């Protein structure tokens, strides 16, 4: 009998892989938006005898204007999020970001977007990561529940809504047999769905689909970099237009807690 976790992986793949193809073939208007995403993360345990950890991530994004190819032309987002994390089991970690600060510009693929306002947002996030290994293949299921306060500096006050995000990621070592070995070159691929809801939200509840493929390298045991390409669909509130955002993506992970995986045999 097929193991339950394998059934889950196959089912998730069956949902994600046909989705992007189907969306790309519908009769909505697809607006070209070139982007550059960067993300910087540092994480460590509070001490050598605890399962509690802290994390901090900073995101910086740029974008093109009116369908041009220069993905560095305009700002898109800057955010900073502190996290508290707990290694609940060998394969499961729970994260809480009490308050994250986000500064976001509108996307600019159409002339009507140039008059849109810059938005400031506060966000609280609960995240669960679950790791699954099949030989050298490292799968991660990530679920996020976000409470968003958007437009916090508006005179009439912010809008509040919730968002659920699910991401399935596969990391495959290329020159070693284990993702957490030093000097490991690896491939990383993921797909993620975003579903939004709440009294202050509109009708495009399925708001985003992100797809990424990249090449990474781990060095110093606890630091790794990735460079890849992201293809993202952002559904507009009118349900007739989709921003097709695509471009390079750079990650820097300083995951100091990975040094402890040999001692604790946790899966980071």
Domains in the chain, number: 1
244-248-249-252 Cα dihedral, nearest 10 degrees: -170
Over the chain (268 residues), the average pLDDT of each successive run of 10 is 48 48 63 97 87 95 95 97 93 96 95 90 97 90 97 92 96 92 94 92 84 95 94 84 95 79 49
pLDDT at 27: 73
* Under 8 Å between Cβ of 83 and 111: no
Q: Would residue 115 be called left, alpha or beta, if left means φ above 0 and alpha means ψ between -120 and 50 degrees?
A: alpha
* Euclidean distance between CA atoms 41 and 10, whole angstroms: 30
pLDDT at 5: 53
The helix/strand/coil state of 8 is helix
Token pair belonging to 147? 């409470």
pLDDT at 7: 43
pTM here is: 0.86
pLDDT at 28: 79
Exposed, middle or buried by CB within 10 Å (0-12, 13-18, 19+), for 59? middle
Residue 40, domain extent: 4-264
pLDDT at 1: 44
């Amino acid at each position: 009998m097929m193991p339950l976790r394998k059934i889950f992986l196959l089912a998730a793949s069956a949902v994600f892989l046909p989705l992007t193809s189907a969306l790309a073939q519908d009769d909505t208007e697809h607006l070209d938006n070139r982007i550059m995403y960067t993300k910087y993360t540092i994480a460590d345990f509070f001490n050598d005898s605890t399962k509690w950890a802290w994390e901090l991530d900073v995101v910086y994004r740029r974008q093109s204007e009116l369908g041009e190819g220069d993905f560095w032309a305009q700002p898109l987002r800057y955010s900073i999020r502190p996290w508290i994390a707990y290694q609940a089991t060998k394969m499961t970690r729970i994260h809480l970001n009490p308050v994250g600060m986000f500064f976001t510009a509108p996307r600019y693929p159409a002339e009507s977007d140039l008059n849109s306002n810059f938005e400031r947002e506060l966000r609280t996030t609960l995240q669960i990561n679950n790791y699954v290994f099949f030989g050298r293949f490292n799968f991660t299921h990530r679920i996020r529940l976000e409470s968003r306060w958007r437009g916090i500096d508006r005179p009439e006050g912010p809008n509040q809504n919730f968002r659920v995000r699910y991401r399935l990621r596969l990391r495959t070592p290329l020159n070693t047999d284990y993702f957490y070995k030093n000097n490991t070159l690896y491939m990383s691929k993921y797909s993620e769905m975003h579903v939004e809801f709440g009294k202050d939200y509109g009708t495009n509840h399925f708001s985003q689909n992100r797809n990424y493929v990249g090449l990474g390298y781990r060095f110093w045991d606890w630091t790794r970099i990735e460079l890849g390409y992201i293809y993202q669909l952002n559904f507009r509130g009118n349900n007739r237009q989709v921003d097709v955002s695509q471009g390079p993506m750079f990650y820097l992970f300083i995951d100091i807690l990975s040094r402890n995986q040999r001692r604790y045999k946790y899966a980071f």
